[in-house]
Structure formats: structure tokens, C-alpha cells
A and B are shown apart, each in its own frame.
Chain A
Amino acid sequence: MIPVTLDPSRDEESQANMRAVKRSRIRERIKDLSVWVIAVLFFLPELWIFLSAFKTPQQILAVPPRWIFRPTLQGLTAMAKEGAFWTYVFNSFFITFTAVFVAVGISFLAAYGLSRFRFRGGDFLMFVLLSIRMVPGSASILPLFLMYTALGWTNTYAGIIAFDVMFSIPFAIWILKGYLDGVSQRFDEAAQVDGFSRWRTMFRIILPQILPGIVAAVIFNMIFVWNESLFNAILGGNTVQTIPVALQSGLNTINGINWQYIASLSFVYTVPLMATIYFFQKYLLVGMTFGTVRGEI
């Protein structure tokens, strides 16, 4: 028997070990802290806007900026009294909801077709689809504007939604096809043998298995449509103006910039998106891997 505890060298060794553990723990702390500092730095502009939404105009412009103040709803209530504000809110929600719903619906059907019915040039078609998103907006805006005027689609909900749908579909198809390729064709076959129609197979058997992909597609497209302002500003008009467009045009008023209005509108603009993404965060993280990492089914 070796008296382990009585061995002095062993004791020294264990103390050295303890010190090493402590050092690495401190290093961990420093790493965590620096990550937080960087994150907060990035978040500062957002925080400034959020705080400003609850400040008076004087407090907003105070130098140095005031971090501690009595919050006021003055800006938000003033904004809520304005009729135009509610139009922006309605437009933003209505256009986003409809466009994303239609786009993801069409994309699911298309992705299912591309995934299950292999045909010559299918891969090239996928590339062509995505290339729609490679053209910079400023290059396509003029021809689109001419088309829209010729068709009389400017300043109509249908026109704006059609545009948003068109721009959302490629990305949604890419995401969904990745997920669908991950669902074994044996499910389709089993359903076929069980007597499911193709339609029922798609919606009852396959769709539930790619819900994370659907959520990812919805969120990515929601961010795009919710933030889309360039095309709305050019192809839209007063009737279909969304919040980001209102923010742009609201910057230049006769009395200079109304920071309180901008801050309040920005606050109302950001919160719904943040809330939605926070709620669906776990699905979004799954979605980011593009269907490569799936739970065992």
C-alpha cells in the first residue's frame, strides 16, 4: 500500500493543479466579460433609440446623453394619435404577413417538387432561382418601376405583396428543399402504399417533419419583408407605405428632424420582430444549419 496522502510531492502537485484550475477559471471570466462588452457596444445604437422613445425631445438631445431619467409616454401617445401611424402599422403587418404566408406556401410546393421529382437541369434551376437575389435592388428598380406603372400596379397592396413574394421565394425554396431532401423518400412511399393522396402526403406526413425549416423560412423572409423599404418607397405610395418607408421620409420635415417621433416609431417597429424571433429562437438556430443537422427521426 502506498500512503498517497502522505506523499509531500503529491500534495504540491495537487496545489499546482488547483492554481491552474483557478487561472483557467479567471481566463474564462475575462472571455465572457469581453464577449458581453462587445455585444453591448453593438447594441448601443439600439439601446439609444429604445431609451429615446421614452424621453422628452430635450432629454434626447441632451449632451452628455442621459442614462437615468423619468420615462415618459409622451412621444408614443402623440404618435398614436396620428392617423397615418396606424396606416403604417397596418401596412407593415398586413404586407409582411400576407407576403410571407404566400411565399412560404408557394415555396413549400415548389421545393417538394424539386426535391421529389428529379429532372434534368433541376440543380441549375435552383441556381437560377437564387440568382434573382444576386441582382442589386438598385439595378432592378427602374425596369420594375416601368413595368409596375405600365400595369397600373404602383401603390397597390397586390403589387407590393407580389414583389415581396417574388423576392422571398428563392431563399425559401433553398431552405425548404434542404430540409425536404433530409426527409427520406420512404415516407412518401409508405404514404403511397397506405393510400394517402399526394396532397395529403405532403401536408400530413412530410410537412410536420420539416416544421423547423418552415419556421426558418418564415423568419428569414419576415425579416426581409418587414425591413424592405427601397421598393416600397418607389413602387408604393401613401396607401401602402410601411413603417421603414415612413421612417425614411419622416427624417426630413420642415422643423428639422423630429427625433422623438423617429425614436418612438423605431421602437414600435423593432419590438414585434424582436419578440417573434425571440419566441422562435430555438427553431431559428436549427434553421441556420440548413437542414444538415437534424434530430434523429
Chain B
Amino acid sequence: MEGISLQSVSKRWRHTFGLRDMTIDLYPSQFVVLYGPRGSGKSVFCRLVVGVDQPTEGTIMMNGVDVTHMSPIQRGIAYVPQTFALYPQFSVYDNIAYPLAIQGEKKSEIRGRVEQIAATLGITNILNKQPDQLSGGQKQRVAIAKGLVLNRRVYVLDDPLVGLDYKIRERLVEELRNLQESLDALFVYATSDPLEPLLLADHVVVLDQGRLVEQGSPGSLYYTPNHVGTTTLGYPAANIIPGRVNRDGDRWHVRTAICDIPIGVTAEVAPDQEVVVAIRAEHFLLGDDQSAAASLFEATVELEEDIGSERIVHLRAKGQALQAGFADHKTSLPLGQTLAVAIKTSAMRIFDQHNGRCVATGAAGIEG
């Protein structure tokens, strides 16, 4: 197979797991984003693919060749590590140029490439400085430049934009996307940022506690997540409300602190099962439509965030904090006001509280 393929790969230290039984295929020319919270195994994944670490078990294949025990340079993967190390004794220019020089590129060729990538990352004016003279953000951009300057088929970027200021992030996200398209290379990009997967990815891989929990296109993961870890994608993250499955004759619903939510029955739900309900901000509806009685509740406005394109309302209902976005409501809501809020239950996903798997979806019929 073209691209990279991990087959039952595990990475274990004495007592801790970095990655558990990971089997996945990464196809060429794709922008793959690894998404997960800290400690979910993103960095371990990157390090194993690049070859700075060896897996405890399993095989890593690249273009059909077993590369499990090959050195990074034999695999030929460009890498921007999360904890990058710039050589303090070399200037910024030499730091970026050194990998090219080692490969025996011509001096003029090297200069051109370094200057081009420096311009992209906005670090042209610091090329002659030493790494210890740079700010944290500048160092980070140099590290990115150092990885991207190489001409490779596979690029692995381990949370390269973390901590950079918003403006640079925004620009670099666009640049990275363009770069990936023009290079037509496989990008593996790890992040814990909830927006980057949606902005960058062709394919999102969600990791949790060293396991692959879900993968798919950004759209499918956003709208139909199959694991509770995926519901943090986007902004604001979905509201996670604990509840318990309740059966009332033929009608099943999830009883939560704020209201009852009707669900479609699947083989995976049983009465009294402990579950969590994920409600996205846009699934709250303002209104007093009485037909929504089952999923109607009262909530108090605590705070309102105006982020330009939309308005995020922080609500509190029976002690539960909720973040809602009312797309059709353009005027601001007075603080402390009590509202009648309905939930668009058909779009809702129900997850098992213990393993995080999606066990049911909200039943339709109670639209606001």
C-alpha cells in the first residue's frame, strides 16, 4: 500500500502505555490530523512514524516496505517535533539549512529554499540571529521552517502551532494547507486544538488514552461523532450532560438533571444504563413551543460572548452550565433572565459513560 500503515502497533514503557494496539492506514497526499487531549498518544504516534522511537509491538509499513526498525533518515520523513531542539551553536539560517547541506544540496539551491520558507513563516529578519536571541514564538517558527524546508513525501508535525499567537496561527494554518496541496504530500499533524482539525484535515484521527477511538472526515466527526472524545471538536465544545436511560413502555428516553430526552433504541442501550448526552451549542433552540415539552427546560442567562459571527450564551439550568448559540437570535439577551429553552433532539448523540461509545441517537419529533 502507498502511504503509511500501522499494524497492531503498541508502545509501552515499564508501567505506562503510550499507544495501544493501533492499526491504521494513512494514505498519500492527505492532510491527516491526529486529534486528542494531552496524553492521548499523539506525540508517541508521531515519534513512532518518524522513527525516533521504536514500537514495543507491531509493524510500521511505508509504501509496502517494513520500516519498523529503520532510522528516521532511511524513512525520509520531515519532522517538526513538539519539543523541538534548535542547535544553539548555529545561526537560525544554519539551523534550517543544515539538514539540506547534509543531503549534499547545492549552496545556491539551499539559500533559495531557506529564504522561501523563511518568508512563508515570517522569519526572514531573524535568519542571522542565534537561537538564544529569539522569543519562544520565533523559535517555534524556526523549528517549523526546519521541518518544512525538506522536500519529502511525508511530513509529520507534532502540535507545531501550540502557543503561537492567534494572528500567526491563523496565517500558518492557511499556509500549511496550501503547502500540503502544492507539495501533494502526506501531512500527519497532531493537535489538541478543537478547531485545527476542522480547518486543516482531509481525514481526522481521534485518539484517547493511547487508543484510536474514531476516524473520518471532519464533517462526519463533527455532526455524527461515534465517541464522546470527538464531541470536543469545534467551538464551543459540545455540552456533555450525564444521565440515565429510562424506559417507559415503548418510549425510551434519557433522564438528565435538566430534562428528559427521547432516544431511538439500539441494541446497545439498556434501562438504567449510565450515559452522557452531547448537545452542541447550535442544538439549543429558543422558544416556547409547547410541542417540545419533553425537552423543554428553563435556564438562566449567566454570560454572553459575542464573537462576531455568532453569539455564545452561557446558561445555567438546575446547576448544569451550558453553552448555547442561538443562530437566529440576533439581539442580546439580558443577564439573569430566565428563558424557556428547547433542544433539537434529533441531532443529539448519546454515549456510554464508561467506554465513551455512541449507543443511541436522539429521537426526532420534538423540534422547536
- Please report A residues at the B interface, Cβ cutoff 8 Å: 184, 186-187, 189-190, 192-196, 205, 208-209, 296-297
Contact = CB atoms under 8 A, between A and B. Distances in A.
B88 A194 contact: no
Contact of B88 (A189, A193, A209): A209
A195 B84 CA distance: 16
B83 A194 contact: no
Interface stretch (B57-65, B95-103, B169-177): B95-103
Nearest to A205: B87
Contacts of A184: 83, 85
B89 interface: yes
A192 B84 contact: no
Contacts of B89: 208-209
Contacts of A189: 52, 81, 85
B132 A192 contact: no
Contacts, number: 46
Interface stretch (B17-25, B71-79, B181-189): B71-79
Nearest to A186: B85
Interface string B110-143: 0000000000000000000001100000000000
A193 B52 contact: yes
A196 B52 CA distance: 13
Contact of B71 (A186, A192, A209): A192
A205 B88 CA distance: 9
B148 to A, nearest CB: 13
B164 to A, nearest CB: 19
Contacts of A194: 73, 98-99, 102
Nearest to A192: B72
15 contacts: A184-B83, A186-B81, A186-B83, A187-B85, A189-B52, A189-B81, A190-B87, A192-B72, A193-B52, A193-B72, A193-B81, A205-B87, A209-B88, A209-B89, A296-B132
Given A195-B99, A195-B102, A297-B132, A190 B85 contact: yes
Nearest to A295: B132
A191 to B, nearest CB: 8
Q: Which of A184, A194, A196 has the most CB of B within 10 A?
A: A194
Nearest to B100: A194
A172 to B, nearest CB: 22
Interface in B349-363: none
A199 to B, nearest CB: 13
Contacts of B207: none
B50 interface: yes
A296 B131 CA distance: 11
Contacts of A209: 88-89
Given A190-B81, A190-B87, A194-B102, 20 more contacts: A186-B81, A186-B83, A186-B84, A186-B85, A187-B85, A189-B52, A189-B85, A190-B84, A193-B50, A193-B52, A193-B72, A193-B73, A193-B81, A193-B99, A194-B99, A195-B73, A195-B102, A196-B102, A296-B132, A297-B131
